[in-house]
Amino acid sequence: QKEVEQNSGPLSVPEGAIASLNCTYSDRGSQSFFWYRQYSGKSPELIMFIYSNGDKEDGRFTAQLNKASQYVSLLIRDSQPSDSATYLCAVNIHSGAGSYQLTFGKGTKLSVIP
C-alpha cells in the first residue's frame, strides 16, 4: 500500500472555478501535513501546512484535514492560469529509524484554462 496517494490528473478547471485536490495517507500516527506546488523544472514551494482536523484558510487556498478518514485536501478558489502546476501532498510519516520522514505523493497536475 502506497503511503501517500494522490490522483495524478491532469485536473483541468476553468479560470475562476474552484480546484479541489485530494490526498490520502496510510500512517494513522501522522501529525503534520503539507501541500507543495511545483512548476516544471523548479523546486517544490510550500503552499500550506495543517496539523489539526478541520479547515485552514490562507488567501485563495484552504487545506482540509480529516485524520479519522486519513484524508487531506487543498481547495483553490478563483483559480488562475498561474495556478497551473503540479501539487504535491506531503505527510510526516514515522520511520523505522526513529524519526519522521516527509513522504510525498506523486502529485496532481492542475491546468487552469483561461
Residues of the shown chain interacting with another protein in the complex, contacts defined by CB under 8 A: 4, 31-32, 34, 36, 42-46, 49, 51, 88, 92, 95-107
Closer to another protein by Cβ: residue 23 or 112? 23
Q: How far is it, in rounded angstroms, from Cα 11 to Cα 7?
A: 9
Closer to another protein by Cβ: residue 68 or 97? 97
Give the residue from 63, 85, 90, 91 showing the smallest Cα distance to 76.
63
Name the CA radius of gyration of the chain, rounded: 14
Closer to another protein by Cβ: residue 96 or 114? 96
Number of CB atoms found within 10 A of residue 107's CB: 22
Least gap, CB of 95 to another protein (angstroms) = 6
